[in-house]
Amino acid sequence: MAARVDSVPELFGSACAGDRAALARLLSLVERGGDQGREVSRLAHPLSGNGYLVGLTGAPGAGKSTLTSAVIGHLRAQGISVAVLAIDPSSPFTGGAILGDRVRMQDHATDPGVFIRSMASRGHLGGLSLATPEAARLLDAIGRPWTLIETVGVGQVEVEIAGKADTTVVVVNPGWGDSVQANKAGLMEIADIFVINKADRMGVDETRRDLEQMLELSDLGASAWRPPILPVVATTGEGVDEFWSAVLAHRATIEASGELARRRKYRLGEELRQIVTRRLELRARQLATGEKWERLKADVADHLLDPWTAADEMLDGIGG
Amino acid sequence: MAARVDSVPELFGSACAGDRAALARLLSLVERGGDQGREVSRLAHPLSGNGYLVGLTGAPGAGKSTLTSAVIGHLRAQGISVAVLAIDPSSPFTGGAILGDRVRMQDHATDPGVFIRSMASRGHLGGLSLATPEAARLLDAIGRPWTLIETVGVGQVEVEIAGKADTTVVVVNPGWGDSVQANKAGLMEIADIFVINKADRMGVDETRRDLEQMLELSDLGASAWRPPILPVVATTGEGVDEFWSAVLAHRATIEASGELARRRKYRLGEELRQIVTRRLELRARQLATGEKWERLKADVADHLLDPWTAADEMLDGIGG
């Protein structure tokens, strides 16, 4: 237990030197989001910006884990190291454990070039929406060249998180329509690349036509990039090379056009805005307790004070 | 157009003297929620507390407007005046107009003892959730003894608004299950009285049994009041007397037990908390503009500053 008293800078140094246990502990601090989590952020932020973030989202069962595992194999065959953050907002306390349906990723569990982590919010003020980019920045800062963010489903938070990557991949299956109906528009908006996984099944052509039609209707703006639609059979590895080539092509395109820098700047601005909002909300909850609050509430209930004037008094001095 | 320059206190005085146009203009100010809306609140709050608020909610088509109209007739036959606030959060800009499906309420449009108003948020910071109790308080303050709040459907905001009345009525129909499935639990929680409207149709007994079973499962706590289930045919007036007697019985029960005072106190506390939160949110949006914000965003994007430290600087001096 003596190791537990290592300071954050010590842990950070160890993680940079390749110590996986130190990295795991830093990620737990990020998930908790307290003062130590912020210390991790302060150390990581200046060193980040060289790694590249790929988000993968899609309905449960679409085969995102199998595709992720295939990508890991593809990168490891070239000696490139990679990290995976698995995001499941519906299971806030699975952190640190490999999820059941991600068991096949354990093929890579003993490979020092692979780091896999299930993310949990564990009390972070901003939940996984804020904890995930911080975790990705840590992996970037300690020298991981590629981080894959994989969500379990296509819920609002999951799409939001996956959409904040440098390249976002939406994984569908032949006949995808029904399973993602609720969030089709959200998925079209964030997709840089579509993968039709399980492309050995019936209905690939219809699915491709469906996606192409929706792309026609979407506003791609002045973007030079048109999301490709790639058939893959992740279980056999068929199409994985082509898929990863598309990721590299997208990266090259947005690096050259300045779009990557613009995206990252926008993301950091949004993150800052979110932190400011969360902290003000916390402040509001803190204000709604204590003696002054009880007195004002009683005055309002007794009709001595209207709620707006009471709110003024409550916010007095904090510029609300 | 000269009348438009009347001050808020002048309008308030006129409304107290029975001027309906002045009342309508005050309600528009409340809906807008700006400084003048707050002035209305400041005038109304000390004078309120004598009126009584009845909320009616139920799925679209359940016959709430017909029931409301029947209640108006019932009260007017006794010479009692009444106000109606019609809430439709899905149509934010219908304010002031009588909604299409509320046309039958126009029977009462020329009766000076009846005041009917469709509420819109029109930019109020807290939306209809905050504007509605303020409007009800204004009607109370100028001397309306009864205000009915009628929602169009059973969405979350609508149930929340109807649930903040002194007596809350949930209107269902025979075979009600499917139409309100999504919010059944929410409805059970707020109901003081159930009305089975259109009780001349098949399935009244099954619906009653269904509701009774759900009441058995609900935690009614130490409450002396068990929600009655009343068959009504609002179009013919059948059962309306019994329904209104139940409202009066509920009022007498919660007045005697102190529950009414407790409810009102809780509601005002919640309103205050909501105002504080909304104003802090507004403050966060205001902070996310301007020169300082742009500089901090640029520093974060350039990796000179981490987002948490930037948020600290942004919130510096406002205690966030």
> Measured between alpha carbons, how far is A301 from A28 in angstroms, rounded to an integer?
45
Listed by number, the residues of chain A in 45-74 with a beta carbon closer than 8 Å to a beta carbon of chain B are 45-46, 48-49
Question: Is pLDDT of A18 > 80?
Answer: yes
Residue A171, helix vs strand vs coil = strand
State the best of A134, A273, A289, A314 to mutate against chain B, taking most chain B CBs within 10 Å: A273
Write the pLDDT tens digit of every residue in A158-181: 888 888 999 999 999 998 766 566
Look at chain B and report how many structural domains it folds into.
2
Residues in B 258-277 with any Cβ partner in A closer than 8 A: 264-265, 268-269, 271-273, 275-277
Residue B37 lies inside a defined structural domain of this protein: no
- Classify residue A222 as exposed, middle or buried by CB count within 10 Å of its CB (0-12, 13-18, 19+): exposed
Return d(Cα B41, Cα B38) in angstroms, integer: 5
> B216 and B256 share a domain?
yes
Which domain CATH number covers B76? 3.40.50.300
Which of A120, A114, A63 has its CA nearest to residue A89? A120
In a domain, B127, yes or no: yes
Note whether B96 and B196 are same-domain residues: yes
Q: Is residue B159 located within the same domain as residue B308?
A: no
Angle (CA) B112 B115 B118, round 5°: 150
Q: Do B46 and A309 touch (CB under 8 A)?
A: no
Query: In terms of domains, do B284 and B244 share one?
Result: no
E strands, A26-66, in order: 52-57
Give me the phi and psi of A230, to 5 degrees please: -115, 120
Residue B128 placed within a domain: yes
How many Å apart are CA B65 and CA B238, to the nearest integer? Answer: 15
Q: What is the pLDDT of residue B255?
A: 96
**A275 pLDDT more than 60:** yes
Residues B299 and B164 both lie in one domain: no
- Provide ipTM, 2 decimals: 0.79
Q: Quick one: pLDDT at residue A89?
A: 73
pLDDT at A299: 93
The strand pairing partners of B83, in sequence order, are B115, B147
For position B152, what pLDDT does the model report?
82
Q: How many CB atoms lie within 10 A of CB B282?
A: 14
First to last CA, chain A: 45
Asked if residue B12 belongs to a domain, the reply is no
Per CB-CB distance under 8 Å, the chain B contacts of A306 are: 38, 41-42, 44-46
CB B284 within 8 A of CB A276: yes
Whether residues B280 and B222 fall in one domain: no
Same domain, B156 and B259: yes
- Residues B170, B220 within the same domain: yes
Residues B301 and B165 in one domain: no
Q: Decide: helix, strand or coil at residue A122.
A: coil
Q: Over the stretch A106-140, which tens digit does the pLDDT of each residue have?
A: 667 678 899 999 887 677 767 888 899 999 999 99
Which chain B residue lies closest to A289 (C-alpha atoms)? B273
Same domain, B300 and B259: no
pLDDT higher than 50, residue A99? no
Residues of chain B with pLDDT under 70: 1-5, 90-107, 109, 121, 123, 125, 177-183, 219-223, 317-320
Confidence of residue A280 (pLDDT cuts 50, 70, 90): confident
pLDDT confidence of residue B67: 95
The span from the CA of A66 to the CA of A233, in Å, is 9
- The residue ranking higher by pLDDT, A102 or B245, is B245
Asked if B140 and B44 touch (Cβ cutoff 8 Å), the reply is yes
Poorest-pLDDT segment among A20-24, A73-77, A160-164, A275-279: A275-279
Separation of alpha carbons A161 and A129, rounded Å: 6
A147 to A20, A113, A136, A171: CA distances (angstroms)? 15, 12, 7, 17
Q: Examine residue B20 and state whether it is found in any structural domain, yes or no.
A: no
- By CB atoms closer than 10 A (0-12, 13-18, 19+), residue B96 is middle
- For residue B182, the model assigns a pLDDT of 56
B284 in any annotated domain: yes
pLDDT in tens, A25-82: 999 999 988 889 999 999 999 999 999 999 999 988 899 999 999 999 999 999 999 9
The whole-number average pLDDT for the span A284-312 is: 87
Burial of A216 (0-12, 13-18, 19+ CB in 10 A): exposed
Q: What is the pLDDT at residue A241?
A: 97
**Chain B residues whose beta carbon lies within 8 Å of the beta carbon of residue A305:** 45
pLDDT recorded at residue A214: 84
CB contact under 8 A, B303 and A42: no
For residue B96, what pLDDT is reported?
Answer: 38
What pLDDT was estimated at residue B205? 93
Q: Looking at the DSSP assignment, which residues form a beta bridge with residue B61?
A: none
Task: Answer whether B300 sits within 8 Å of A268, measured CB to CB.
Answer: yes
CA A160 to CA A180: how far, in whole Å? 15
- The span from the CA of A224 to the CA of B188, in Å, is 54
Residues B233 and B85 in one domain: yes
Residue A226: CB atoms within 10 A of its CB come to 10
Q: Is B301 on the interface with A (CB under 8 A)?
A: yes
- The span from the CA of A244 to the CA of A56, in Å, is 12
Mean pLDDT of A247-260: 96
What pLDDT shows up at residue A9?
95
User: Which residues of chain B does A38 touch, with a Cβ-Cβ cutoff of 8 Å?
Assistant: 306, 308
B320 domain-assigned = no
Q: Is residue B5 part of a domain?
A: no
Asked if residue B241 and residue B108 are part of one domain, the reply reads yes
Q: What is the pLDDT of residue A53?
A: 97
Q: For the sheet containing B193-197, what is the strand order?
A: B114-119, B82-87, B146-151, B52-57, B167-172, B193-197, B229-232
Cβ separation A306–B275 shorter than 8 A: no
Which amino acid would we find at residue A78? Q
Distance to chain B for A121, nearest Cα, Å = 17
- Give the per-residue pLDDT at A94: 43
Name the residue with higher pLDDT: A315 or A135.
Answer: A135
DSSP code of residue A233: B
Tokens representing A76? 């490891």
Domain that holds residue B101: 49-264
Which of B273, B293, B295, B305 is most worth mutating to test chain A (most A CB atoms within 10 A of its CB)?
B273
